[in-house]
Structure 1
Amino acid sequence: MLRSFRLGGIHPQENKLSAGKPITELGLPREVIIPLAQHIGAPATAVVQRGDQVKVGSVVAKTSGFVSANIHSSVSGKVTKIDAFFDAGGYKKPAIVIAVEGDEWEEGIDRSPELVRECSLSSKEIVDRILSCGIVGLGGATFPTHVKLMPPPGQQAEVLIINAVECEPYLTSDHILMMTKGEEILVGIKILMQALSVSQAVIGIEANKPDAIAHLTALSKQYPGVSVMPLKVQYPQGGEKQLIDAVLRRQVKSGALPISTGAVVQNVGTVFAVYEAVQKNKPLVERIVTATGKKLANPSNFLVRVGTPIAHLIEAAGGLPEDTGKIIGGGPMMGKALLSTDIPITKGSSGILVLPREEAVRKPMRNCIRCAKCVNVCPMGLNPAFLMRDVKYNDWDVAERGHIVDCIECGSCSYTCPSSRPLLDYIRMGKQTVMGIIRSRKS
């Protein structure tokens, strides 16, 4: 029997329209917009000025704290401005604009397709290379990878878990990556095992990807300590805490870090980026992005340079349909509606979803009928209906006692609510407020 996490969960329609589509390298735009905040933590600090010439791989912004990440130019050309631009969340944030003048790469970056298996670097040297290349979590959370590889004092990693679940509907970028870069992913896993000093790694893949399960299972036989675990199709299995529960049968306590269970979780796309950073000295300047939607002419998986406006991506997928209602950054469950097609692709952009008008309109909200469906599907064991009430009435103490900060914002509650109540919207807003109150109290 296939394993899964033990609390809550749903199974929305998968809509993997771009499954099996090969990776298409997207052409360069006229200019890129590179935000300074492409990761959890402190935004990077710009180290270039207007008029500077840069190459692909040039450092344009450096870390400004322990939890931060370097940012590199994804194109060669001239810095034309450093200004505030709208990000995927709808806020204006500082970004560097570079006019594209070619595709000249920094020396020392190995762009050859040859597989490099052996890694002679020490654990510290591996972490330093990952830090230097600006690698962050590519599953959406964008946590700086080097930080995850340095557990806090008193915590010890026992097992590395690779998140290859891709449970979000529509998205297929991880799936195609596994099918085309399997060897590189396995080498990347061994590098991360070396950095963490662990002897076991488990690749979790949901059962709706049998080809990826078979492919990586065959390859893993050459890599001692690495195994593949097929998992039941259950959203949100890609959540870090849910995946740890599914694989290890250990649960992360409220307020604790995942490392408290002995596990370090890395997304499969992050693993490939680690391989390229450590073995090829390649910074994170491009990633695979799924452009999809039921009315798109050509849902596909694209290799896209960071900073590319999403309009360039949508055009390559067949153009924006006339009946478009919303453009979502990410998938339909955890993604956010974008303000315009000028918003750039960032390190955390896993997909662009174009929703037709009939699917983008919210149904009228009705009164809560106390059916408890939202409670039954919550993978964190919360009471979303009560939390929405607490936020609505600014009852922050009660919301904190209800563990609102434990919400992983998966959207399962809103998806299942028969009264069409915007549970996640209220909880997401209240979570930020309560977290701010907690930070103020601690300081």
Structure 2
Amino acid sequence: MAFKFSGGLKIEEHKELTESSPIIDFPEPKKVVIPLKQHTGATLEPLVKKGDMVKVGDKIGDSKALISSPVHSSISGKVVSIEPHPIPTGEVVPAIIIEATEEDPIDELALEKREWRELKREEIISIIREAGIVGLGGAAFPTSVKLSPPEGIVIDTVILNGAECEPFLTCDHRLMLEKPDEIITGLQIIMKVVGAKQGIIGIEDNKKDAIELLNSKLKGYGDIKVVSLPTRYPQGSEKHLIKAILNREVPSGKLPLNVGVVVNNVQTAYSIAKAVCEGSPLISRVITVSGDGVERPGNFRVKIGTQFKDILEY
């Protein structure tokens, strides 16, 4: 079977700049700006005020709206301001500004080990929601909502998107190489929550090392497999991914769940595993910093709220 969709573009990848660069923990920021809308959905209400001291992992914003996801402090420090701040969508939303203080040293995140197989579906969804997990492939849709399809909808397949078809980006590639076990666990958790019998990890064929590694890790897994996809843009679009892998067409105006599929990014699956198995909220993510104008291109695990200028000046 040819795993491809009709059309698509072959574009210059520029991935050679960072594809061999291991993930590095970016230095702890002295200041973070955490918008109260980092997801698709409702703007959150602040749970802290100016002058409050917070610790890493503390929930600092939440909403009762269905389509919403809480945010957490990514550092320990002092809330110095809550003020309007622009976000990538062009909106201006309230943001919580936190500065690290010498008097309040950085604390290690308090983790809670769990065995995910012993948890009920509802417990897992609650953990994912409280951890603030959203889609990390672009849209930032609240994951707890995505994994709660309407009654009567049957999900038979979960696809993990490891295509990373965009030029320059290699953060998902590196994560698959460095954290394959956690990604597989995240996929298993998603499959349990939605009741899917099949899990598929779709990876473009320009990442042969990741394909080989995950295939070796999945020996003996009868319900999960890796699919190698032709390298073309926009392979990572979930509708194109579903068409290429399953030959199912998502109708105009409909969602993947309408054809029995849930799609999540590999980094989202990793974050789900960290939240469910360790109690870790979403306070960081892996990014690629690349391009001819970048002095130190690489893949970095960066705290949420870190300012672009700090990253570019590193």
Matched-pair identity in %: 42
Partner of 1:251: 249
Change (3 A) 1:158 1:40: same
Deviation of 1:88 (Å): 2.1
Q: Which residue of 1 aligns with 2:306?
A: 308
Following superposition, the deviation at residue 284 of structure 1 comes to 0.1
Provide closer, same or farther for how the CA distance between residues 45 and 118 of structure 1 changes in structure 2, counting only shifts above 3 A.
closer
State how 1:8-87 maps to structure 2 within 5 Å: 8-16=7-15, 17-87=17-87
Counterpart residue number, 1:104: 107
Q: Partners of 2:222 and 2:183 in 1: how far apart?
A: 14
Q: How does 1:114-129 map to 2 (within 5 A)?
A: 119-129=117-127
- Asked if structure 2 preserves the Cα contact closer than 8 Å seen for 1:70 and 1:132, the reply is yes
The amino acid that maps onto 1:26 is: F
Gaps of 5+ in 1: 111-115, 317-443
Shift of 1:163: 0.4
Computed over aligned residues only, the root mean square deviation of the Cα atoms, in angstroms, reads 1.4
Aligned partner letter, 1:103: I
CA contact (8 A) 2:234 2:240 kept: yes
1:224 and 1:183 map into 2 onto residues whose CA distance is: 16
For 2:292, the equivalent position in structure 1 comes to 294
Out of 264, 269, 275, the residue aligned to residue 271 of structure 1 is: 269
Kept in 1: contact 2:131–2:282 (CA 8 A): yes
Compute the displacement of 1:30 (Å). 1.8
Tell me how far 1:159 sits from its aligned partner. 0.5
CA displacement at 1:178 relative to structure 2: 0.3
1:19 and 1:175 in contact (8 A); partners too:
yes
User: Which residue matches 1:325?
Assistant: none
Q: Secondary structure at the match of 1:156?
A: coil
Take 2:68 and 2:124, find their aligned partners in 1: how far apart are those partners? 17
| Partner residue, 1:175 | 173
Which residue identity is paired with 1:174?
D
Say which is worse superposed, 42-51 or 71-80, in terms of deviation.
42-51
| Secondary structure in 1 matching 2:181 | helix
Distance 1:178 1:103 in 2: 29
1:109 offset after TM fit, Å?
Answer: 4.8
Instruction: Flag the structure with larger Rg.
Output: 1
The CA deviation at 1:92 is: 2.1
- CA 1:69–1:5 in 2, change beyond 3 Å: closer, same or farther? same
Contact 1:134 1:283 in 2 (8 A): yes
Please tell me whether the aligned partners of residues 116 and 189 of structure 2 are also in contact (alpha carbons under 8 angstroms). no
CA-CA distance at 1:90 after TM superposition: 3.7
Deviation string 1:278-328 (CA, Å, 9 cap, x unpaired) is: 000000000101111123232100010000001111122xxxxxxxxxxxx
Task: Return the alpha-carbon distance in structure 2 between the equivalents of residues 302 and 164 of structure 1.
Answer: 18
The answer on whether the counterparts of 1:207 and 1:230 sit within 8 Å (CA) in structure 2 is: yes
Moved over 4 A (4+): none
Q: What one-letter code is carried by the residue in structure 1 that aligns with 2:106? A: D
The one-letter amino acid paired with 1:59 is K
Alignment partners' CA distance in 1, 2:51 and 2:112: 24
Shift of 1:89: 3.3
- Measure the CA separation in 2 of the matches of 1:211 and 1:255: 36
Deviates more, 1:141-150 or 1:87-96: 87-96
- Give the number of aligned pairs: 310
Q: Take 1:302 and 1:107, find their aligned partners in 2: how far apart are those partners?
A: 22
Q: 2-side partners of 1:303 and 1:246: how far apart? A: 31
1:2 CA drift (Å): 4.5
| 8 Å contact from structure 1 (residues 4, 234) kept in 2 | no
Deviation at residue 64 of structure 1 after TM alignment: 3.4
Other structure's SS at 2:94 match: strand
For residues 336-383 of structure 1, what are the alpha-carbon distances to aligned partners after superposition, in whole Å with 9 as ceiling and x for unaligned? xxxxxxxxxxxxxxxxxxxxxxxxxxxxxxxxxxxxxxxxxxxxxxxx
Q: Secondary structure at the match of 2:118?
A: coil
| Cα distance in 1 between the residues matched to 2:295 and 2:31 | 25
Q: Distance in 1 between matches of 2:220 and 2:44?
A: 39
Q: Deviations over 1:116-173 (max 9, x none)?
A: 8753111111111000100000001101001111111221111000100000110011
Contact 1:55 1:105 in 2 (8 A): no
